[in-house]
Structure 1
């Protein structure tokens, strides 16, 4: 069972359907007991960092996500959900994040189009079980802010958008993808499938 954490912000339906298409069972839930019992958990997110953290705190799910991460079971943050894994963000002021990965989230700065929107190619920075059997390809991004990991070993993949941009992060059983894997075609689904394979009820239909 993969728990998709419902804290009021995120593409819950599309992520749930993507997990089910890969042959795994998914539940969209805000219940702590269901989240903590799951074999894997996904923290989605669309919107502003500060609002997301407020929702997590008000629903009591901030401590649940931290407890889940400490359990050693696989946790995946997607888009804003990946950014929430870090210490803080400068989006509309300074806001504290979950602090699961050291680093901060900053706005793109430069004379180019923001948000970064569209298909960009991944570059794998180091080996990861998420990349098993895969070659780099294009995935779909939509974001105005990007993460700056404090530890280079947490940076698993980048993309190029006028600079090297954090695309995938990971430390231990905690992972994050800045792009939307459920909207990123064959490669995105393959990355999701490899995440599922890290859980105790992993399947492989690709």
Structure 2
């Protein structure tokens, strides 16, 4: 039976490519913001393009945040892409304005300290040992389009009963977080749906976790 994946429809642009990519690797895909679809799908994909604050505002306006929180708390497979990756961190700072994020992970999204932004095109990543997302594709390139990222990771490893997330890094001007795997919650700064065979393999690996 094909895994059922909901792509969260909260007003983000360019979601059809994500739907097609998931269908290509065998998922039964629904583009929806219906609470039942958010909470009951085998996998939920949270897309995101544009400004951090605009994405957070759209998530709130759509009424999706509460149901997204229920899903994460229940350990149901969830994945963010691009700004949909960034909003799982503490906050984003754009043009001097700080916007609070979902706070699942420590870190602040800030402008990449590179001579040329946006970071646009193919780049390699440094995946950690034990990564399920990057299994078999550790040496592949992935497609990035972004001007902001998380440059520091300060996870408190002293917390009891907390298994540190697996963090994948890339570099453009400075190292930044390219992906996080945290139990049932995963996210990528790059676009798997635009990353050809490597991106398809990553989505298939993600679906293999549920």
* TM-score (normalised: structure 2): 0.89
Seen in structure 2, the aligned counterparts of structure 1 residues 149 and 32 have a Cα distance that, compared at 3 Å, is farther
Report what 1:165 is aligned to: 176
Give the CA RMSD over aligned residues. Answer: 1.5
C-alpha contact (below 8 Å) 2:131/2:166 kept by paired residues: no
**Aligned equivalents of 2:182, 2:101: Cα separation in 1:** 16
Structure 2 residue runs of 5 or longer lacking an equivalent are 158-163
C-alpha contact (below 8 Å) 1:168/1:177 kept by paired residues: yes
- Note the C-alpha offset of 1:154: 3.1
- Note the C-alpha offset of 1:17: 0.6
* TM-score (normalised: structure 1): 0.91
Is the helix fraction higher in 1 or 2?
1
Moved more, 160-169 or 127-136: 127-136
Seen in structure 2, the aligned counterparts of structure 1 residues 52 and 115 have a Cα distance that, compared at 3 Å, is same
Q: Does 1:101 align with 2:105?
A: yes
C-alpha contact (below 8 Å) 2:192/2:203 kept by paired residues: yes
**Aligned equivalents of 2:202, 2:145: Cα separation in 1:** 18
Number of aligned residue pairs? 198
Deviations 1:13-42 (A, max 9, x none): 100111101111010001111110101100
Match of 2:186 among 161, 166, 175: 175
Q: Secondary structure of the equivalent of 1:133?
A: coil
- Note the C-alpha offset of 1:166: 1.1
Structure 1 residue runs of 5 or longer lacking an equivalent are 200-206
